[in-house]
Amino acid sequence: MSTLKRSLGTCYYPEHWPREIWEDDAARMVAAGLTWVRIGEFAWSRLEPRAGDYQFEWLDDAIAVLGNAGLKVVLGTPTATPPRWVLDKHPDMLAVDAQGNQRGFGSRRHYCFSHSGFRDEAAQIVGKLAKRYGNNPHVAAWQTDNEYSCHDTTLSYSDASREAFQGWLRARYPGQGNNGDIDALNTAWGNVFWAMDYDDFGQIGLPNLTVTEPNPAHALAFRQFSSDQVVAFNRMQVDIIRDHSDMPITHNYMGRTTDFDHFAVGADLDFASWDSYPLGFLEDRVGASPEQQKKYARQGDPDFQAFHHDLYRAVGHGRWWVIEQQPGPVNWAPYNPAPLPGMVRLWTWEAFAHGAEAVCYFRWRQAPFAQEQLHAGLLRPDSADAPALAEARQVADEIADAPDVAPGQAPVALIFDYRADFAWTVQPHGEGLSYFGLTFDFYRALRSLGLSVDILPAETTDFSGYKLVLAPGLMEMSSGLKNALAASDAACVLGPRSGARGPDMLIPVPLPPAISGLDVTVSFVESLRPDSPISLQNGGNFIGYREHIEGNAEVIEQDENGAPALMREGNLHYLAGWPDHAAARRIFGALCTQAGLKIHDLPSGVRCRDTGSERFWFNYDTTSHKIGGVTLPPISVLRETL
């Protein structure tokens, strides 16, 4: 694989600023060492202030100013912010929440993916933009919409959504003509239970406002449908852009958004990008302990950014950016502290160490008006430098001198599957249990051992080169994946909940995990109170979730009662519970050592990541650390040639 260049950029809103300062802004961006400028993604009301009244001259001008200064433009489609007239024209285009309340105008993302009138308006404006700028020499990439799913906007319980869901179900359970086979659906979902049988697809509602929980098969189908609606909306935009432009297309994903399948969206795009707000995410997305949150309040969680870097590298087929990087305090988290000096530089280098092609800071200048008044930029509202500008400039100087990145395969792989997250969300079986939480715990354990990790989709068929593959929590597991894991040379760890459900949320028989070559059967499962973990004889605990397993595979670990906790046959292992950090480190560490991998015992703030040619060390702590022969000063980045 060829090497990668690294570059920096920023997010800019020319429509927020007087025309007189655009040239100066552009010149200052270039002087700061920035290459990219992303614009346009919320500008619909200025591009089409009234239906059909297109006003592109200002955008022509802005692109020319930025491009002539030497910047490359990423042009966003403005569909995340339909102007008021679009809503007046289509009053029922708003999404409806699970309580049945229609969401309102006055912020953003106020649309339902299933509303065909809105979809047509979106297609129209995207088409106009693509046609006008498809061959513009300064437009070097496109972004579709903005942060699908942000503000809880994937699932909509609207009439449009219900009708589209019924159509989706007809296609999923096909019958004569276009009618679908309602008996097939009743059987697949087990609707005989509680007399939930339907006579017709038109009777099927959305799984909200039921007296007690809806049928999990119904709830899962609705999540899969809602994800497909996001994929279809994005694909519509991509197809339109590709008719007019050869430039690469991306979408900016968020941290810990799991309610649509990013791999499916990513399949239509040229590269992935994501919006990294390490301090914004810390309080309510990471799931870390209060002590950890306090310790890293000004640094961000040391594993959360890296997890998403690795995830989105996979979603982008190896190509990905951080298209929005937090540069200072944000406005939207429960608490909004400023980063410690040096953190903006550290976050940027960490993205590059994980293979990012570009890191763009959000935003160029802090806006003195509207919702994000308290959100820092690279410039203050009075245009003076904000603290992050100097750090961005420092990174720009450093990357100019640094060698290009040589991508390399990590020794360890972790499989991540959004459909598994849907199934866990529908049926967590215990309070606070989530698929994201489980996989992130596994990831954190691997990182604390000093390992670089590749995150892979569940469709992966070739695991060559990996020494250890972790496939936790994949509620539905294809036979293709089971076979690929069994055939690989890597030590593979499945469980808990691997292969626990079929496509319609039914418990399969033979009972899970049902893998030939691994004589293990999960006989029953239980979830655990937070204050009642089950200890393992060799150290650490099962927390939250545990399974009772039987079979002829070798018992490697037992719990406090002597029941099997980890069983093995050949290269396949089954882990019968959710291990705490100590147990996960011990079990994965032993497997790595057996596989000949060198492991470390890293403090919580120290992490490393290998590219094909370099090792990067990151110290998120305010104290220095010595690891082997390496001394890491507080808040630091260190590069070693491998």
Binding site for ligand GAL (CB under 6 A): 146-147, 150, 275, 277, 324, 330, 362, 372, 375
The nearer residue to ligand GAL, 362 or 463, going by C-beta atoms, is 362
The nearer residue to ligand GAL, 245 or 257, going by C-beta atoms, is 257
CB of 323 to ligand GAL, least distance (A): 9
Q: Which residue in the list 147, 350, 357, 476 is annotated as catalytic? A: 147
CB of 16 to ligand GAL, least distance (A): 12
The nearer residue to ligand GAL, 131 or 151, going by C-beta atoms, is 151
**Nearest alpha carbon to residue 17 among 336, 397, 338, 364:** 364
- Segment holding 292, helix H or strand E: helix 290-295
- Residues 625 and 606: beta-carbon distance below 8 Å: yes
Q: What distance in Å separates the CA atoms of residue 275 and residue 253, rounded to the nearest whole number?
A: 6
The nearer residue to ligand GAL, 324 or 357, going by C-beta atoms, is 324
Q: What distance in Å separates the CA atoms of residue 390 and residue 322, rounded to the nearest whole number?
A: 19
Residue 463 neighbours by CB under 8 Å, 6+ apart: 413, 469, 484, 485, 488, 489, 490, 492
- Residues 552 and 519: beta-carbon distance below 8 Å: yes
185: its two tokens:
């659906």
Q: What distance in Å separates the CA atoms of residue 279 and residue 339, rounded to the nearest whole number?
A: 7
Q: Report how far Cα 140 is from the mean position of its chain's Cα atoms.
A: 24
For 416-450, give one letter per residue: b (16+ CB within 10 A) or e: bbbbbbbbbbbbbeeeebbbbbbbbbbbbbbbbbb
Q: Which residue has the tokens 């009439």?
A: 159
The nearer residue to ligand GAL, 80 or 567, going by C-beta atoms, is 80
CB of 148 to ligand GAL, least distance (A): 11
The nearer residue to ligand GAL, 146 or 571, going by C-beta atoms, is 146
350: its two tokens:
């960490």
Backbone angles phi, psi at 134, to 5 degrees: -55, -30
Q: What distance in Å separates the CA atoms of residue 639 and residue 642, rounded to the nearest whole number?
A: 9
First and final CA of the chain: distance in angstroms? 17
CB of 147 to ligand GAL, least distance (A): 5
Q: Which residue in the list 41, 121, 324, 350 is annotated as catalytic? A: 324
Q: What distance in Å separates the CA atoms of residue 292 and residue 274, rounded to the nearest whole number?
A: 24
Please indicate whether residue 560 is annotated as part of the active site.
no
**Nearest alpha carbon to residue 94 among 125, 117, 120:** 117
The nearer residue to ligand GAL, 362 or 618, going by C-beta atoms, is 362
Q: Give 138's strand partners.
A: none
143: its two tokens:
């972004």
DSSP 338: P
- Enumerate helices (H) and strands (E) in the chain, giving the number of each: 18, 26
The nearer residue to ligand GAL, 197 or 372, going by C-beta atoms, is 372
Task: State whether residue 251 is helix, strand or coil.
Answer: coil
Q: Which amino acid is at 93?
A: M
- Residues 109 and 80: beta-carbon distance below 8 Å: yes
Q: What distance in Å separates the CA atoms of residue 73 and residue 383, rounded to the nearest whole number?
A: 21
CB of 288 to ligand GAL, least distance (A): 20
- Segment holding 617, helix H or strand E: strand 614-619
CB of 372 to ligand GAL, least distance (A): 6
Please indicate whether residue 147 is annotated as part of the active site.
yes
Residue 224 neighbours by CB under 8 Å, 6+ apart: 419, 422
Which is it for the CA torsion 420, 584, 555, 488, positive or negative?
positive
The nearer residue to ligand GAL, 146 or 619, going by C-beta atoms, is 146
DSSP 53: B
Q: Which residue has the tokens 């900016």?
A: 252
The nearer residue to ligand GAL, 15 or 614, going by C-beta atoms, is 15
The nearer residue to ligand GAL, 12 or 617, going by C-beta atoms, is 12
CB of 331 to ligand GAL, least distance (A): 7
593: its two tokens:
């050592």
CB of 212 to ligand GAL, least distance (A): 35
Rg (CA), the chain: 25
Q: Report how far Cα 560 is from the mean position of its chain's Cα atoms.
A: 37
CB of 576 to ligand GAL, least distance (A): 39
The nearer residue to ligand GAL, 280 or 544, going by C-beta atoms, is 280
Q: Which amino acid is at 578?
A: W
- How far CA 163 is from CA of 82, 158, 444, in Å, comes to 22, 9, 42
Angle between helices 57-68 and 22-31 (to 10 degrees): 30
Residues belonging to the active site = 147, 324
